[in-house]
Amino acid sequence: MQRRVIFPQQGLPLLLLLPQLAVTLIFFFWPGAQAVYMSLLQQDAFGISVQFVGLDNFRAVFADEGYVEAFWRTMLFSAAVTVLAMVPALVLAVMADRVVKGATAYTTAMLVPYAIAPAVAGVLWFFMFSPSIGVLAWGMKSLGIPWNPVLDGSDAMWLVILASAWKQVAYNFLFFLAGLQSIPKSLLEAAAIDGAKPMRRFWTIIFPLLSPTTFFLLVVGLVYAFFDTFGVISAITQGGPATATETLVYKVYKDGVQNLDLGSSAAQSVILMAIVVGLTVLQFRFVERRVHYN
Amino acid sequence: MTLKKTLVSAALAIGALTGAVPALAQNRPVEIQMWMGLTGQGGELLSRFGEDFNKSQSEYRVVVSFKGQYPEQRAAAVAAFRAGNPPHIMQMFDAGSGDMMHAKGAVVPVSEVFKRAGLQFNAADFIPPARGYYGLPSGELLSMPFNVSTTVLFYNKDAFKKAGLDPEKPPQTWPQLIEAAKKIRSTNAAACGYTTTWLSWVMLEQFSSRHNVAFGTEGNGRGGVSASLQLANNPLLIKQVQTLVDMQKDKSFDYGGRSNDAAAKFISGECAMLTQSSGGLGAITQGAKFAFGTSGLPYWPEVKGAPFATTIGGASLWVFSAPNRTQAEFRGVAQFLNFLKSDRVMTEWAKTTGFLPATNSAFKAMQDEGFFTKNPGRDVPILSLISAAKGDNTNGYRFGRWTEIRDVYHEEVEKALQGNQSAADALRNAERRGNALLRAFERTAS
């Protein structure tokens, strides 16, 4: 049975919704519409000559063999970033949930990376792993591990994946911890009395009850990896070596902001939007079925 | 006092007050915004020139600000132009020149700026390579050359000694450089023999000029926007990429990244030789804990007439136009540019940074006081840029979207260095992808 609160008139609810609607319209729909409009134009960098070119920008994007490669690369990158940001976050959250003394200090320390701007995080990782001057690169060298992200594509890919995931671990950690704390202790105690060991308690009680959080973080994590990682890539590899770390969103950034080719960049961002909407729909259709909401 | 008198004096007082507001505004100096793409020593000095100019007069106030490296700064300036409020003066690097030159309506040629302000301006005052690079065939200068540089070879004398090489005899040709690099590796005098900054600028643009080889049609794009790249059927360019690929295998060459990053490999002592902008001298002097020397960009001796002159690098100053710009602002811009090209400023700039003096008179002033003889190595870029032999293909190039094409070249050559494609394929792909960009540029260029 569902209880519904019905407002006597339509005016008040609309008024209350207005700020949120305005934010959505101004910051999401308007730029979205702008991107679609720009994707149909071709213009010089200064916007002095603008011409309508129909779908030419899209044709050019799909005709570029590098674009399809970038698509698969982005899939790999996003999957790796999402998983590497979620698994350690869950492990850390489970550990933090059991800490009794100094829990706040520990939790706060865990959150610090999230407060660091992507570009700063990128520069940090760039220096740590720079083959000539990096502390960690030097450590790896002395252990005999070959490491050269300047020329080796997979080294570079690992570097941007780790740097991107590292930032997101803090965010995921916070949500997992909140999720863990909302699981009734009585359930776990009952299971413990029935003789369930910690691992079994985790997999049969905690993990299923955490699934709404996990699902939410999966969606947010993929969106982060798809859209928000160009700052890290820009600071560490600029998409290189060759095109080893050029993801779709980095291409959008590079073509739009650096190369000032707004038509192509807008077309790419429209395609990217469609991909992410599609992925999110898929997730809601197939993954959400396995989620238990209390 | 009658009521009438009171009213009159009140009216006068109000009149005086309101009148005072525009009067105050008139006394405030006209503000001139200049954006630069330099940090460190060069950036500090350029900011100080702005302050010096402000102290020298009270009509204008110049604000010099750093808005990111050249590409980021360009993006910011374009966004500001679109919003109707670009900086008055922008420092733009060599590779961005092609785009700026075709942005008619966005920029005002410097010759024109001086003329409007009634200031004397003679394009012939600037050193010939700079004049040729930033000017029109009519002799009119589009932007004012400021930090002029060219490619030079820096080498670590201590590492040379350690490897049993003569530290006073830097390699002049590529075969000599390869031999020295191999020796440095085999004696383990350094972890890598040679590296380079700015791969495309050095290995494509400067390299071609050094051998008087064209890498594009229509006089390397100087003839118009319909020009194309010619890289695929260019045996010398292929040979050069192949040389780097071969050297990378035993670290006699070690790739150090796209822009300026490789300079750190030289300064830290990891690589014993570096091709770099002569403007990079300041950072090397400050950072290197070893004796180093300077030499010209190497060449292949079998090329007839080589070595030819290298071409220009660095940046020039562009003047933006905007609907709301006043004549007073343009006068201020002209005054400040005039200040920057004065001998006093130019010589201090060149001496401190390692860039070349952009004007003939500053060059002569430095020669007269014996600066180049007193500072060995500082004449190398001059010799390479001005005194060396000229040919049809040593006047620089002018292509639109060049920053992007540079990255295409970087990507393809990196793939070759990784061993994922041949040197010939790298240049074939770079040509194809670069020409696609040039055609797109042609479509939007007016």
Is the pLDDT assigned to residue B3 strictly greater than 70? no
pLDDT in tens, B125-142: 999 889 888 988 788 899
B33 strand-pairing partners: B63
Q: What is the pLDDT of residue B334?
A: 96
Determine the Cα–Cα distance for residues B292 and B294; give it in Å rounded to an integer.
7
Substitution target in B260, B414, B442 with the highest count of A β-carbons within 10 Å is B414
Question: Which pair of structure tokens corresponds to residue B164?
Answer: 């049993």
CA angle B403-B270-B374, nearest 5°? 80
Residue B69 has pLDDT above 60, yes or no: yes
Element (H, E) at B110: helix B110-116
- Interface membership of A241 toward B (CB under 8 Å): yes
From residue B184, give the alpha-carbon distance in Å to each of B142, B177, B282, B338: 46, 10, 25, 48
Written as one string, the DSSP assignment of A84-153 is HHHHHHHHHHHHHHH--TTHHHHHHHHHGGGGS-HHHHHHHHHHHH-TTT-HHHHHHHHTT----TTT-H
**A255: nearest CA in chain B?**
B404
CB–CB contact A241 B414 (8 Å)? yes
Chain B positions touching A47 (Cβ under 8 A) are: 81-82
A48 interfacial to chain B (CB closer than 8 Å) = yes
- Nearest CB to A48; choose among B403, B410, B446: B446
Domains of chain B, each with CATH number or no CATH: 24-149+313-369 (3.40.190.10), 151-310+398-444 (3.40.190.10)
Better pLDDT: B334 or B42: B334
Which chain A residues are within 8 Å of B99, Cβ to Cβ? 45
pLDDT reported for residue B23: 44
DSSP secondary structure code for residue B357 in this structure? P
Quick one: which H or E segment has residue B276?
strand B271-277
B105 vs A contacts (CB less than 8 Å): 46, 48
Residues on chain B touching A240 (C-beta within 8 angstroms): 257-258, 410-411, 414
Percent of chain B with pLDDT strictly greater than 90 = 71
Residue B50 scores a pLDDT above 60: yes
Give the Cα separation of B415 and B421 in Å (integer).
6
Of residues A292 and B90, more confidently modeled: B90
B178: closest CA among B80, B277, B244?
B244
Partners of B292 in the β-ladder: B156
How far apart CA A51 and CA B178 sit, in angstroms, is 51
What is the nearest CA distance from A10 to chain B, expressed in angstroms?
Answer: 40
pLDDT of residue B26: 56
At the fourth CATH level, the homologous superfamily of domain A66-290 is MetI-like (1.10.3720.10)
- Nearest CB among A46, A60, A238 relative to B103 is that of A46
Q: Which residue has the tokens 């105690």?
A: A189
| Residues from chain B contacting residue A151 (CB–CB below 8 Å) | 248, 255, 414, 417-418
Alpha-carbon distance B71 to nearest alpha carbon in chain A (angstroms): 6
Give the count of Cβ contacts less than 8 A between chain A and B: 84
* Residue in B116, B67, B27, B122 with CA at minimum distance from that of residue B329: B116
Among candidates B106, B256, B410 on the partner chain, residue whose Cβ is nearest the Cβ of A48: B106
A44 touches chain B (CB under 8 A): yes
Q: Mean pLDDT for chain B?
A: 90
Query: What is the rounded distance in angstroms from the CA atom of residue B290 to the CA atom of residue B297?
Result: 21
Q: What distance separates the 2 farthest-apart alpha carbons in chain B?
A: 105
Of B78, B255, B446, the CB nearest to A45: B78
Q: How many CA atoms lie within 13 A of B36 on its CB side?
A: 22
The model's pLDDT over B294-325, given as tens digits with 9 standing for 90+, comes to: 999 999 999 999 899 999 999 999 999 998 89
Nearest to A129 by CA among A228, B273, A121: A121
Residue type, B388: A
Residue A266 is predicted with a pLDDT of 95
pLDDT at residue B187 greater than cutoff 50: yes
pLDDT score for B217? 95
Interatomic CA distance for residues A8 and B330, integer angstroms: 64
Q: Identify the helix (H) or strand (E) that includes residue B63.
A: strand B60-66
Chain A's closest residue to B69, CA to CA, is A258
Which of A44, A236, A262 is the best substitution to test chain B (most B C-beta atoms within 10 A)? Answer: A44
Q: Is residue B212 scored above 80 in pLDDT?
A: yes
How close B444 comes to chain A (CA, Å)? Answer: 5
Residues of chain A where predicted confidence (pLDDT) is lower than 50: 1
Residue B22 binned pLDDT confidence (cut-offs 50, 70, 90): very low
Domain ranges of chain A: 66-290
What is the model's pLDDT at position A133? Answer: 77
- Return the beta strands (E) in B101-156 as ranges: 107-108, 144-149, 151-156
What's phi and psi for B292, nearest 5 deg?
-135, 160
pLDDT at B15: 46
Which has the closest alpha carbon to B195: B263, B280, B243, B297?
B263
* pLDDT confidence of residue B446: 60
B55 in A contact zone (CB under 8 Å): no
- Chain B CB within 8 Å of residue A135 CB: no
Across the interface, whether the CB atoms of A242 and B445 are under 8 A apart is answered no
